[in-house]
């Protein structure tokens, strides 16, 4: 079969592009990703910020898509039932040089068309953020900054795309793409995929398929620290320090689930999948945030993690139809503000495909995404009704987050569903609480094995060869 | 549903509390989240239980079995597969099970919720995030209850009892334990476990060592260990790599206090559990606690004994007319003095109490003093304990605030 | 041949370090213990160390792991021989705690450490 469109990469960009395309009649659209689930690359480990758009240089694609995407994010998250909060942000000034930077960012923001930005005085900042260092001099306040759950967004978009006819191809690594006449031949470890159009949103590997000589992705790692929910209210806005060449710097931000996030660092790395945290990295985060919040209780750290940015050597997104390869659309070099830009990029890619000749007839009756409803968010009568219909909703699997077996099963059975322990964690939060899966792990493995019809020995933490159980020791003498 | 005493948690402390409350005339409801009673005992298949309570050396399940048998013979209402979602200050719990969600109103509540293990994030070991890093208790559950080995070649971080027990368990199931690392210069586990779990199998115990890095992309391939100095900081140049596919973390336990926080109960930051008086009552009138949910025990026997006391007092509270918290009424404070890390109970409302203490450092042949109003009311000579072992001291004659301290040679008491 | 072994006694939390002098396979002297039980433990430990075995056996009929134990300590060196025999157990019926599963192996019985295959309580509400 020859697909109309093949999308390489089911991160937040690829998944949103797939979802947009699923609104049209197509002769097949497939969403290909090397991981078992969507959003497992850069989309999984980032600052989760929906940026206002004053940071990106004027006239760049980054600036354009950032500002657009920022406005699109709230209605999109509502449609997809993804956690989002518009909490605003501050870029803080601690010295005179910083003051100058704030002024520059203010002007840039205005040029980029960002609404709701203004400079705040020291007193205003301290009033709005009582835990901030008293050394602060002022801040650039942006009302439109938001926080979102990036993996929730990828998962929701991919699921909705598949609900509406997109063909998922997970656990599928693309090795090579070639073109024969008007047909792309995508060589994967699961065989060949043929398509008339290809959208390249392969994240840290996007330079391999961009067909763009001289275009290189330099992977850049960012480490983070995550604090307990008891610290979630320590600050009210996303707090930035002034940006440097390496990026927006280390921030302090509440997460949409109520934790506190510190980070990221910025280190170039040779390995596109280098998600190793380092003692030096953690130290850097700590010394940096102490400047912003000197009294923060660091014993509240519950975990650390790292993500890899797909930093392009062009300093800007590469969202355009390829000049060299007709039918190839690139959405590459999507580093910050990539998450924010993704909804806008998705719409733009669809228009690029149309310009390339893809016939797009709107499909009526696009199925909306069913929300993941957690019992803890329901009233007691509704919960009891659910439990009466299905007792699995009454059996608690994750004590820390109060998640039942029924909810874990739902997370597996949905389209773009969980295939791994981490996947379950990301969908229904079982394993994300204070004990970090210590209590629920055996149950989650058991449920995954049962639902996927495999031995518990095949269940992985996050795909690939990350199996959790190494040997079955249930030896016994007799035959069944 | 209403009852006199609601016991939350069916481990050793909870079962003992339920029985004792029943014995003291209260109607009792006991809720347990697992499909059976026993709590953590069900996965502790090794012997070491029952020496104090029954004078016999039993395995965890056998110890649990003694209580389960007795409970079967009573009319205690046992609700299995039932978890308490929330608890209010007035003793109302919202519980969930396969049958649905219901409110349980009790005149008195005993919290016996046990404790949880500190995960990797709590100590933040740098490195990759491969499969193969487990807390020791989770690995114990996987091996003993599920029947799977999470690895064949292990390094264990933490020489607490769970880590030591797992060193033996892994070895008996065919895995190789390369080393047990302990960040302190002494082990926090019981001496019997060092002998029977490490020495027996020639497993090295590396004191003043910790894991400083984790390797492996999808699956653990090794760890880097380093020696640490007196302030527990890794010493540069001492790093070495141990190849392994399993890292067990036995790096501390914390009382499960989520329901306490719900009910606004005051928590002692040193023990991580609620403040209690000698009746095991918390700062919320009518809410009692015991076992690992109050403070971390090393012997389940003592957790059960605490449960017994809590149950008895909960039953009495349920029967009594006056419903004031003893903590609100005149109460003497119990203070941890020199050389003592924590004391439970932190308050006494009568003239006598059984005080459980943990020391700050290991001691050999030291003298422990209990002072009340400047007078020495109890003296324990030739004390030899590590902080991993809880010391219990029955004390009489309390007439004012109490201090428990170690006496060093040549230093006057209270000086 | 004179041999002095240092033993950490595990009978009580004191953990006395006991020196046991062995000559020609016989205990000649015990020093450092503070009680009788310690002395007994030390001499046994040096000459014929024994341990209680505990392990698990899978029971397919009930799809669960049954904890089992030796009812008395066995000689330490025999543990590796006994474990495979235990693992080879074939249990097809419900079991009560204390039921003998293997009779008289190296001088001990292997018994069930827990009930299995029976409802613990009538499921109540």
Checking if the pLDDT of A432 tops 80, the result is no
Query: Nearest by CB to B218, which of A277, A395, A466?
Result: A466
Residues of A in contact with C87 (CB under 8 A): 475-476
Secondary structure (DSSP) of A142-178: ETT-EEE-HHHHHHHHHHHHHHTTPEEE-S--EEEEE
Identify whether the C-beta of residue B132 lies closer than 8 Å to the C-beta of residue B220: yes
The distance of C92 to chain A (nearest Cα, Å) reads 10
| A476 to C92: CB separation less than 8 angstroms, yes or no | no
In the predicted model, what is the mean pLDDT of residues A453-466? 96
Interface test with A, best of B34, B148, B210, B257 (most A CBs within 10 A): B148
Active site residues of A: 51
CB contact C51 to B (< 8 Å): yes
pLDDT of residue B322: 64
The Cα B14–Cα B242 span in angstroms is: 41
For chain B, which ranges sit under pLDDT 50? 412-415
| A442 to B138: CB separation less than 8 angstroms, yes or no | yes
| C54 to B47: CB separation less than 8 angstroms, yes or no | yes
The distance of C44 to chain B (nearest Cα, Å) reads 14
Pick the CATH number of A2-43+151-216+314-362 from 3.30.70.360, 3.65.10.10, 3.40.50.2300, 3.50.50.60: 3.50.50.60
pTM to 2 decimal places: 0.93
The distance of B15 to chain A (nearest Cα, Å) reads 20
Structure tokens, A346: 């998705």
- The torsion angle over the Cα atoms of residues A188, A192, A196 and A201, rounded to 10 degrees, is -10
In the predicted model, what is the mean pLDDT of residues A342-357? 97
| C69 to B59: CB separation less than 8 angstroms, yes or no | yes
Domain limits, chain A: 2-43+151-216+314-362, 85-146+218-308, 375-475
pLDDT of residue C119: 74
Identify whether the C-beta of residue A31 lies closer than 8 Å to the C-beta of residue A193: no
| B36 to C120: CB separation less than 8 angstroms, yes or no | yes
Whether the CA torsion A198, A203, A208, A210 is positive or negative: it is positive
The Cα A39–Cα A62 span in angstroms is: 21
Query: Nearest by CB to B100, which of A275, A388, A468?
Result: A388
Identify whether the C-beta of residue B46 lies closer than 8 Å to the C-beta of residue B140: no
Residues of B in contact with A467 (CB under 8 A): 131, 219
Q: Which fold has domain A85-146+218-308?
A: D-Amino Acid Oxidase; Chain A, domain 2 (3.30.9)
Query: Nearest by CB to B135, which of A391, A396, A438?
Result: A438
Residues of B in contact with C65 (CB under 8 A): 144-147
**B77: closest chain C residue by CA:** C124
The per-residue pLDDT for range B215-246, each reduced to its tens digit, is 999 999 999 999 999 999 999 999 999 999 99
Residues of B in contact with A303 (CB under 8 A): 119-121, 124
Residues of A in contact with B98 (CB under 8 A): 387, 391, 394-395
Checking if the pLDDT of A196 tops 70, the result is yes
- Give whole-number Cα distances, A331 to A20, A41, B38, C99, in Å: 14, 15, 56, 68
Question: Order of strands across the sheet with B209-215?
Answer: B209-215, B222-227, B240-243
Identify whether the C-beta of residue A152 lies closer than 8 Å to the C-beta of residue A83: yes
The distance of A478 to chain B (nearest Cα, Å) reads 17
**A275: closest chain B residue by CA:** B128
Query: Nearest by CB to B37, which of C51, C67, C120?
Result: C120
The per-residue pLDDT for range A88-126, each reduced to its tens digit, is 999 999 999 999 999 999 999 999 999 999 999 999 999
Query: Nearest by CB to B78, which of C13, C114, C124?
Result: C124
| A470 to B245: CB separation less than 8 angstroms, yes or no | yes
The per-residue pLDDT for range C49-64, each reduced to its tens digit, is 899 999 999 998 888 8
The distance of A274 to chain B (nearest Cα, Å) reads 8
pLDDT of residue B386: 76
């Amino acid at each position: 079969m020859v697909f109309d469109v093949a999308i390489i990469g089911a991160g937040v960009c690829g998944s949103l592009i797939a979802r947009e395309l699923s609104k049209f009649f197509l002769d097949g659209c497939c969403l290909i990703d090397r991981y078992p689930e969507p959003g497992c690359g850069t989309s999984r480990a980032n600052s989760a910020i929906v940026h206002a758009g004053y940071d990106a240089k004027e006239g760049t694609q980054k600036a354009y898509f950032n500002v657009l995407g920022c406005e699109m994010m709230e209605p999109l998250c509502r449609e997809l039932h993804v956690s989002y909060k518009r909490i605003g942000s501050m870029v803080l000034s601690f010295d005179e040089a910083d003051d100058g930077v704030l002024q520059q960012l203010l002007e840039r923001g205005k040029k980029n068309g960002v609404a709701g930005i203004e400079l705040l005085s020291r007193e205003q900042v301290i009033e709005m953020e009582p835990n901030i260092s008293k050394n602060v001099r002022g801040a650039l306040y942006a009302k439109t900054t938001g926080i979102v759950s990036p993996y929730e967004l990828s998962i929701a978009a991919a699921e909705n795309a598949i609900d509406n006819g997109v063909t998922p191809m997970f656990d599928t690594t693309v090795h090579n793409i070639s073109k024969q006449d008007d047909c792309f031949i995508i060589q994967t470890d699961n065989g060949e995929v043929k398509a008339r159009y290809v959208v390249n949103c392969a994240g840290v590997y996007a330079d391999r398929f961009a067909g763009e000589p001289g275009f290189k992705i330099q992977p850049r790692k960012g480490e983070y620290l995550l604090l307990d929910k008891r610290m979630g209210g320590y600050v009210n806005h996303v707090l930035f320090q002034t940006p440097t060449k390496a990026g927006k710097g280390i921030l302090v931000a509440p997460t949409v689930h109520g934790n506190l996030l510190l980070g990221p660092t910025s280190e170039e790395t040779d390995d596109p999948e280098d998600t190793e945290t380092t003692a030096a990295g953690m130290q850097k985060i700590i010394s940096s945030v102490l400047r912003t919040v000197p009294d923060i209780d660091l014993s509240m750290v519950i975990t650390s993690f790292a993500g890899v940015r797909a930093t392009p050597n062009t300093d800007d997104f590469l969202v355009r139809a390829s000049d060299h390869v007709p039918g190839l659309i690139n959405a590459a070099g999507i580093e910050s503000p990539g998450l924010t830009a993704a909804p806008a990029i998705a719409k733009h890619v669809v228009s690029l495909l149309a310009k390339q000749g893809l016939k797009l007839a709107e499909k009526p009756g696009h199925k909306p995404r069913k929300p993941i409803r957690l019992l803890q968010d329901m009233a007691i009568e509704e919960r009891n009704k659910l439990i009466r219909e299905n007792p699995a909703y009454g059996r608690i699997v994750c004590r820390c987050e109060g998640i039942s077996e029924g909810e874990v099963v739902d997370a597996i059975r949905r389209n773009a569903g969980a295939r791994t322990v981490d996947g379950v964690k990301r969908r229904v939060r079982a394993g994300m609480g204070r004990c970090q899966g210590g209590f629920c792990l055996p149950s989650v493995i058991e449920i995954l094995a049962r639902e996927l019809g495999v031995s518990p020995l095949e269940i992985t933490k996050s795909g690939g060869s990350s199996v959790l159980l190494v040997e079955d020791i249930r030896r016994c003498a007799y035959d069944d | 549903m209403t009852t006199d005493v609601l016991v939350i948690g069916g481990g050793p402390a909870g079962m003992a509390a339920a029985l004792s409350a029943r014995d003291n005339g209260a109607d009792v409801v006991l809720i347990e989240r697992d499909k059976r009673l026993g709590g953590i005992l069900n996965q502790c298949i090794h012997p070491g239980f029952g020496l104090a309570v029954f004078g016999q050396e039993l395995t965890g399940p056998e110890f649990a079995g003694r209580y389960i048998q007795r409970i079967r013979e009573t009319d205690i209402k046992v609700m299995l597969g039932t978890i308490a979602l929330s608890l209010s200050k007035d003793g109302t719990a919202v519980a969930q099970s396969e049958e649905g969600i219901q409110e349980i109103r009790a005149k008195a509540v005993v919290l016996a919720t046990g404790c949880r293990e500190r995960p990797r994030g709590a100590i933040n070991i740098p490195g990759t995030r491969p499969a193969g890093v487990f807390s020791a208790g989770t690995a114990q559950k996987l091996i003993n209850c599920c029947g799977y080995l999470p690895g064949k070649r292990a390094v264990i971080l933490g020489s607490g009892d769970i880590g030591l027990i797992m060193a033996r368990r892994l070895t008996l199931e065919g895995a190789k334990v390369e080393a047990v690392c302990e960040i302190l210069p002494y082990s926090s586990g019981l001496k019997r476990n060092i002998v029977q779990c490490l020495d027996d199998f020639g497993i090295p115990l590396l004191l003043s060592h910790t894991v400083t890095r984790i390797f492996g992309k999808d699956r653990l391939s090794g760890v880097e260990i380093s020696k640490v100095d007196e302030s527990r900081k890794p010493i540069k140049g001492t790093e070495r790599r141990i190849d392994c596919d399993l890292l067990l973390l036995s790096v501390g336990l914390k009382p499960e206090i989520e329901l306490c926080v719900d009910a606004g109960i005051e928590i002692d930051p040193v023990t991580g559990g609620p403040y209690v008086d000698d009746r095991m009552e918390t700062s919320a009138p009518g809410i009692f606690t015991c076992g690992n949910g109050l403070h971390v025990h090393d012997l389940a026997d003592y957790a059960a004994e605490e449960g017994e006391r809590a149950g008895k007092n909960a039953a009495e509270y349920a029967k009594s007319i006056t419903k004031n918290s003893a903590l609100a009424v005149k109460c003497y404070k119990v203070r941890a003095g020199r050389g003592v890390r924590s004391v439970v109970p932190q308050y006494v409302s009568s003239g006598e109490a059984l005080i459980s203490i943990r020391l700050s450092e290991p001691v050999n042949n030291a003298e422990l003093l209990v002072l009340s109003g400047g007078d020495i009311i109890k003296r324990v000579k030739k004390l030899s304990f590590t902080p991993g072992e809880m010391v219990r001291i029955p004390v009489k004659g309390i007439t004012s605030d109490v201090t428990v301290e170690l006496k060093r040679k040549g230093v006057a008491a209270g000086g | 041949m004179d041999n002095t072994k240092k033993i950490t006694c595990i009978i009580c939390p004191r953990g006395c370090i006991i020196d046991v002098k062995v000559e020609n396979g016989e205990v000649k002297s015990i020093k450092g213990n503070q009680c009788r039980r310690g002395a007994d433990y030390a001499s046994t430990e040096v000459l014929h160390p024994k341990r209680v075995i505990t392990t698990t056996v899978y029971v397919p009929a009930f799809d669960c792991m049954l904890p089992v134990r030796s009812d008395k300590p066995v000689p330490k060196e025999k543990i590796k021989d006994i474990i495979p025999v235990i693992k080879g157990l074939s249990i097809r019926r419900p079991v009560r705690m204390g039921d003998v599963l293997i009779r008289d192996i190296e001088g001990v019985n292997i018994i069930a450490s827990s009930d299995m295959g029976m409802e613990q309580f009538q499921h109540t509400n």
